[in-house]
Amino acid sequence: WDVSESWAAPARRQMQAYETMGCEPTWTCAPYQTQPRPGLGEQVAWGESSAIVFANSVLGARTERYPDLLDICCAVTGRAPAAGLHLTGNRAGQVLVDLSRVPRRLADEPALYPVLGHWIGLRVAGRIPVLDGLRARPGEDDLKALGAAMASSGAVGLFHWVGLTPEAPDLGAAFQGREPAARLGPGSADLRAARDELGSGLSDADGLDLVVLGSPHFSLSEFAALARLVNGRRRHPGVRLLITTGRAVRALAAKAGYLDAIESFGGELTVDTCILTTPMLPESIRRLMTNSAKYAWYTPGLLERAVAFGSLSDCVESAVAGRVTRDDGAWAAGP
């Protein structure tokens, strides 16, 4: 995955400047996957939208949605503005998202979480949603995908999940005793439509050039799941498989033996960056598929490529078939 030297040289210069300042060179959008995590109520200053919403929501740390370079100003000064999501009163939920209408078959579908995040982000914009009522308990990778999608289609910096995230033991705590300003409640038809919105210009049976995974960066457990799906198989010769991740997670995946099956399948890894921030895709790659709502949302505008969205399993099956193929069973209409 080549990039021009005119692009790479200033990027290396910036990397070296950060290291000279004493920054820890993790080079990942998901540092919480391998680095010590900030604790509940700890004041931090983070950049990168998916990392921000994870820190605020899943960890209960406190950060505003800092843009590039303002976060490093906080690091230099040792201070952050006493405003926004740093303050307790500004962390109260504002919109109740009732998930009781989501059928159990869909609640058990991993692709639900990026799709749900996309649906919520479009409707709440920058407000704080409180989720309740789903007949399943999401894991950490699910929450990562959910928050990343909310922060892409919307501007969500914090969400609460009743009984799951640290500031939401119950509805009253999540809203800090206030009434919701709005209430939402998606059903299966709403979520199917949201899934379809994440595709742009590609439909089932269309050919593919690339399946890309890892936005936010792939976790160790995601590598384990992918290794199980591709073990003993081989990708279609016309489709490349790319996984983007951080260098530390790649090392852990290699040590665990997950990369053997992935590389035998024909998968490729890129560390420390992704296709959205680095001009790494050759012009010949025009048709992409991903399980990331973030990749799917930004690809048409930033990369000017067509994209299809599916589950991790859908992505693997499509990489083998050489065309978009999806199992729609969980998304079928019905109660």
Please report whether residue 54 resides in a domain: yes
Query: Domain limits at 94?
Result: 21-197
Model confidence band, residue 111 (pLDDT cutoffs 50, 70, 90): very high
Are 261 and 120 members of one domain?
no
Run of H or E residues at 241: strand 240-245
Please report whether residue 116 resides in a domain: yes
Are 172 and 255 members of one domain?
no
Domain endpoint, select from 197, 221, 256: 197
Tens digit of each residue's pLDDT (9 = 90 or more) over 27-70: 999 999 999 999 999 999 999 999 999 999 999 999 999 999 99
Residue type, 37: R
Q: Model pTM greater than 0.95?
A: yes
Are 222 and 308 members of one domain?
yes
Are 50 and 190 members of one domain?
yes
Residue 52's nearest CA partner among 150, 174, 119 is: 150
Are 139 and 258 members of one domain?
no
Domain endpoint, select from 197, 221, 237: 197
As a whole number of Å, the CA-based R_g of the chain is 20
Q: Do residues 245 and 218 touch, judged by C-beta distance below 8 A?
A: yes
Which letter does DSSP use for residue 218 in this model?
A: P
CATH number at 263 reads 3.30.499.10
Are 60 and 104 members of one domain?
yes
DSSP-derived pairing of the beta strands 129-132 and 160-161? parallel
Are 161 and 290 members of one domain?
no
Are 243 and 182 members of one domain?
no
Q: What is the mean pLDDT of residues 245-260?
A: 98
Please report whether residue 12 resides in a domain: no
Are 268 and 301 members of one domain?
yes
> What integer best gives the mean pLDDT of the chain?
96
Tens digit of each residue's pLDDT (9 = 90 or more) over 125-160: 999 999 999 999 999 999 999 999 999 999 999 999
Please report whether residue 204 resides in a domain: no
CB-CB neighbours of 94 under 10 Å: 17
pLDDT at 335 over 80: no
Please report whether residue 13 resides in a domain: no
89: helix, strand or coil: helix
Are 189 and 228 members of one domain?
no
**Number of domains forming the structure of the chain:** 2
Please report whether residue 150 resides in a domain: yes
Tens digit of each residue's pLDDT (9 = 90 or more) over 208-250: 999 999 999 999 999 999 999 999 999 999 999 999 999 999 9
Q: Do residues 51 and 216 touch, judged by C-beta distance below 8 A?
A: yes
The phi-psi region of residue 182 (left if phi > 0; otherwise alpha if psi is between -120 and 50; otherwise beta) is beta
Q: Which residues contact 141 (CB under 8 A, 6 or more apart)?
A: 110, 219, 221, 222
Give, to the nearest 10 degrees, the angle between helix 112-124 and helix 188-197: 90
Q: Do residues 159 and 129 touch, judged by C-beta distance below 8 A?
A: yes
Which letter does DSSP use for residue 67 in this model?
A: P
Are 157 and 263 members of one domain?
no
Please report whether residue 9 resides in a domain: no
Model confidence band, residue 201 (pLDDT cutoffs 50, 70, 90): confident
Are 87 and 161 members of one domain?
yes
DSSP-derived pairing of the beta strands 95-98 and 182-184? parallel
Q: What is the pLDDT of residue 48?
A: 96
Please report whether residue 2 resides in a domain: no
